[in-house]
Amino acid sequence: MYAEIYLRLEPLGLELVAQATRRAGHDVCLLDLQIFSHRDYARILAEWHPDAIAFSVNYLASVPEVVDLAKVARLQLPECFIFAGGHSGSFVAHEILNHAEGAIDCVVRGEGEEITPILLAAAADDRNSVHHLPGVVSLNGEGPPPRLLGSLDEVRPARDLARKRRMYFIGVLDPCASIEFTRGCPWDCSFCSAWTFYGRSYRKMSPEAAVEDLASIREPAVFIVDDVAFINAEDGFAIGRELERRGIRKRYYLETRSDVLLRNKEVFAYWNRLGLVYMFLGLEAIDEEGLKSHRKRISLSQNWQALERARALGITTAVNIIVDPSWTEDHFRIVREWALSVPEIVHLTVNTPYPGTESWLTESRKRTTRDYRLFDVQHAVLPTTLPLECFYEELVRTQQVLNKKHLRWAALRDTFFLAAKYLAQGQTNFVRMLWKFGQVYNAKRQLADHSRAVRYEISSPRPSSLVAIDPSTLYVHRQDHLSQRTA
């Protein structure tokens, strides 16, 4: 739901895998179903007759759509090699295969750039044996753990394959491309799977490679998609100096942590001069108890100091607050009052245990649904203290109040001129965003989503009898294989 309004990001992961595959000698077509329709998909199957189809399952909620599309392709192209991968797909590989009932040959867990060309070559020889490859899971078995790409400098995104690039945006940055400088996160928040995917590793591109990729981007704005930007200040300075040397000027949006912003405030000030105008901080809670429950490893005072620092720099900041299904009317009221007292853009997401997160195994409350489509951080999948209808009414009411905060007269004046500017340039993403809120965030719609027929259900986690979870059991990329590739 969030992506229906505030952003539409280029499929950077698919572009990277596409380029690695193209370098191996394959012809590649990329279809972004954020932009194109199922009718476009059917047309490409009919006209292109691909030998292989790869699906990116980046979001858990998209599993049913991917499974159904794979079944369509299997009926139309019975000899086609069909596989899936992606962040969420890596954590539910066996479930995807079972749902697909033979329509999907295998699922690739972990990073896809290195293994995909190897997988295609192996499938051409004997697709029944691909499960012996690292990170590959099929109904015949599972190979050794996936391997990391040797260096983030090795592959550049095939941005030329993403058609209608002007459709990619985030907020007022319209159009907006995406780029990564690093992969992984050293922290271990209980609700997050970024650190479990990469085995708590952290890798970075060289400044030269990062700037070379930036130089190839035509869009005037760029979203730096790192899980936590500028953990190491010197890395940020090195990239910035190379940008200055080459005279590259963009507008930037990034995500980081409050403690990183405070520790490396000079590098954020430097990037502010380079064009950093928007920042996202995952506060998650406005009380110490909430921060502790999410294992943020940060204090409330640090969060407040970080907001002050961002204000001093003149960076427009968005923050996230995690809504727990146990909230009452008082919890929502307190958040509304706080959000109206600060200048930041405040977003709400619903506490949702995901496969790959520690909370998926440790959450003691029973899931009220196993419908993949509701695992989107905008629906309640845990029992609510309020009646479910009332919970959604409070959630939407709070979101409406926060949205209207930025549409008062002064903001409306600025928004009008900005919208007029974008329309004059042929950009409609931002303008459409302004009018879609009421259509998307609707308590009746969200409640009705729970009544939809369910064809595919996610497996429930096994009850945990352990006091603490061994983090390594959650990893996609495991430590012993990490040390071999990053030494």
DSSP-assigned letters across all residues of 149-218: -S-TTS----GGGS--GGG-EETTB-S-EEE-SEEE-S---TT--HHHHTTT-EEE--HHHHHHHHHT--
Q: Give backbone dihedrals phi and psi of 458, rounded to 5 degrees, phi first.
A: -75, 145
Identify the H or E element spanning 136.
strand 136-138
Question: Quick check: 467 pLDDT over 90?
Answer: no
For 154, 192, 447, the CA distances from 352, given in Å and listed in that order, are 35, 10, 16
CATH code given to domain 10-142: 3.40.50
Name the CATH architecture for the domain at 160-449: Alpha-Beta Barrel (3.20)
Closest CA to 464 of 478, 476, 474: 474
Kindly tell me if the per-residue pLDDT of 486 is higher than 60.
no
* Same CATH fold assignment for domains 10-142 and 160-449: no
Distances in whole angstroms, Cα of residue 300 to Cα of each of 283, 331, 422: 9, 17, 38
What the block records as the tokens of 131 is 């499960």
Report cis status (omega within 30 of 0) of the bond before 157. no
pLDDT at 108 over 80: yes
Strands (E), 210-334: 221-224, 251-256, 276-284, 316-323
pLDDT at 347 over 70: yes
Q: How many CB atoms lie within 10 A of CB 115?
A: 24
Measured CA distances, 442 to 2, 60, 61, 125, 446 (Å): 12, 22, 18, 51, 6
pTM: 0.92
pLDDT reading at 399 higher than 70:
yes
Domain ranges for the chain = 10-142, 160-449
pLDDT of residue 420: 55
Q: For residue 105, give the nearest of 76, 75, 127 by alpha carbon.
A: 127
- Percent of the chain past pLDDT 90, that is, above it, reads 84
Is the CB of residue 357 less than 8 Å from the CB of residue 192?
A: yes
Cα 189 from Cα 136, distance rounded (Å): 27
Mean pLDDT of the chain: 91
pLDDT above 80 for 437: no
Query: Smallest Cα–Cα separation from 386: which of 340, 443, 342, 312?
Result: 443
Q: Give me the pLDDT at residue 105, please.
A: 98
Which pLDDT does position 402 carry in this prediction?
79
How far is Cα 464 from Cα 362, in angstroms, rounded to an integer? Answer: 7
Residues facing 81 on adjacent strands = 52
Largest CA distance in the chain: 65
- Read off the pLDDT of residues 16-63 as tens digits, 9 standing for 90 and up: 999 999 999 999 999 999 999 999 999 999 999 999 999 999 999 999
Q: Tokens 């399952």 identify what position?
A: 57
User: Coil, strand or helix: which one is 474?
Assistant: helix
Lowest mean pLDDT among 93-107, 181-195, 423-437: 423-437
